[in-house]
Chains A and B, each alone.
Chain A
């Protein structure tokens, strides 16, 4: 691996732990609903609140989702794995242990290729190794009551166990990351893959994908330094800021002759700093042991192939396909991350040019939808509509400006009428009927004698004023090229 210098003589080393909350109907070990935002403690039962004698039973779909995501991350499925108890006391985990996987996770040895844009605009591909992906369960939500709303300074904590027991996948990377951009790219790409596989909605704002960063620094050529774990990273932007802050903090401590303590730190987004949360318990303190309430999971090769057959086209393959069709990379990234591909594919299948479709989708369609506060799905606009719109521009029926109005019209009708119908209804076609346009041009020439003289005297630019007059007379529907031709012909 090439050395990437972070600061003068220092190298940054980052590994990421990403938790993905699965979009299953039910929790990992019981039939309680996983719906987000329910009234507190309404989606709970004896199993997920750890009542004596309650027995967990594995959610079949959660194992399938875990295997699918693991294979999407190029990982290998373990033929026989099992669950362990991770023992610790914290009120958001009612059983006083979390069921997780320890020595044998479901997935091992994957990787993710991350494309990072360099300063000169070219893309550099960096491979980040994935150590493992294991299955576990989420914890409850704590509301800290007191002065600050945060744990520090709270009087008491109020616990809602609705989230407790929701299937969680933990994706653990190797410490292969050497700069903040790669860390951000990894998280973005992982998010895109999670969405593509459909195992989770991957919404950081709702906590359905969460990222912790293990950060350390070392003098170039040295062994790995002591790491700290950064929590509360709620966006891709926070991740980048927190890594840079923490690395600079560690370098300052070390250059001052100090030592780094292995600890968990909390990222404070508003202050832009990391603060000590707790000194880390060592792995042995968790006293992991195989959960006697659960039996192992065997994944025979034919089952693995059955899951692999469900694999959708992944973001990297889609971007490569778009690039081949001549779509610029920035637009390709937007099409994939914005989940616009179904519309793109439909429009291209209906005969439209790929680059034109990409332009419309990432430009005016995105713009108009964001102004209206609509999703593409809700707008009623289809890929076929888009192809029709592009065809109307190509054959000269619509100018680009009119096409934008037609697009707005189709969205306004929520797709009940297509572009041709909207253009017809609202009289938005260009006037290119020669007789009609010639009459208007003659009238404009007759009433603007001074400008006409000017043009005859050689001031070619003055013709623009006359084009403007014709446009005004036709409410913008004159074909500009044709108008120009006719004006020159009439003026002589």
Chain B
């Protein structure tokens, strides 16, 4: 499967990554190769092999509904670039045109 330069730009935009035209030109064949490797799985998977959603054969890893102490607010807010009224302050949210 070949990824077009436009598809690479689209995926980069969704991931909020800035890419130059040179990077797009280099990434398109590389990402296409990776997809190609992954697609090989489809060639060997028979109908009797269920799709794998996780590499570990584990299920139902749960915890009881019991409270545990939260982190001190000042420690959590220390990671914020900007704080106002004990909240994370972020720039105006701009709706994206799709």
Q: Do A and B associate with each other?
A: yes
A157-B68 contact, Cβ under 8 Å, with A80-B59, A296-B54: no
- For window 356-414 of A, CB contacts with B under 8 Å fall at none
Cβ-defined contact, B92 with A154, below 8 A: yes
Chain A nearest CB, measured from B49 CB (Å): 15
B18 at the interface (CB under 8 A from A): no
- The interface residues of chain B lying within 8 Å CB-to-CB of A62 are 65
Q: For the complex, is A25 an interface residue (Cβ under 8 Å from B)?
A: yes
Query: Is B20's beta carbon under 8 Å from chain A?
Result: no
Instruction: Please tell me which one of the listed residues B62, B87, B91 contacts residue A59 in the complex, with CB atoms under 8 A apart.
Output: B62
List of B residues within 8 angstroms of A40 by Cβ: 73, 85-87
CA distance A298 to B98 in the complex (A): 38
Q: Beyond A91-B93, A292-B54, is A298–B59 a contact (Cβ under 8 Å)?
A: yes
Contact across chains for A91 and B88 when beta carbons are under 8 A apart = yes
**A334 within 8 A of partner (CB):** no
**Binary interface encoding of chain A residues 29-44 relative to chain B, with 1 for a CB under 8 A from any of its CBs, else 0:** 0111100000111111
Chain B contact residues: over half helix, strand or loop, or mixed? loop
Tally inter-chain residue pairs, CB-CB below 8 A: 141
Count A interface residues, CB 8 Å. Answer: 59
**A143 sits at the interface (CB 8 A):** yes
What CA separation (Å) do A259 and B19 show in the bound complex?
Answer: 35
For A25, give its contact among B58, B66, B90 (CB under 8 Å): B66
Question: Quick one: which of B14-52 are within 8 Å of A by CB?
Answer: 14, 16
List which A141-178 residues lie within 8 A (CB) of chain B: 142-146, 151, 154-161
Q: B93 near A45 (CB under 8 angstroms)?
A: no
In whole angstroms, how far apart are the Cα atoms of A302 and B41 in the complex?
35
Least CB distance, A198 to chain B, in whole angstroms: 14
A39-B86, A158-B85 in contact; A45/B71 too (CB < 8 A)? yes
Cα-based distance from A150 to B30 in the complex (angstroms): 44
Q: Which residues of chain A from 51 to 68 have a CB within 8 Å of any chain B CB? A: 51, 57-63
**A297:B70 contact, CB within 8 angstroms:** no
Provide 12 A-B residue pairs closer than 8 Å at the C-beta atoms, listed in order of the A residue.
Answer: A26-B65, A30-B68, A32-B67, A40-B87, A42-B73, A44-B71, A89-B16, A151-B95, A157-B93, A161-B88, A285-B14, A295-B60
Having A25-B67, A57-B62, one finds 15 other A-B pairs with CB under 8 Å, namely: A31-B68, A57-B61, A60-B62, A60-B64, A154-B93, A155-B92, A156-B90, A156-B92, A157-B90, A158-B87, A158-B90, A160-B87, A287-B11, A296-B53, A297-B59
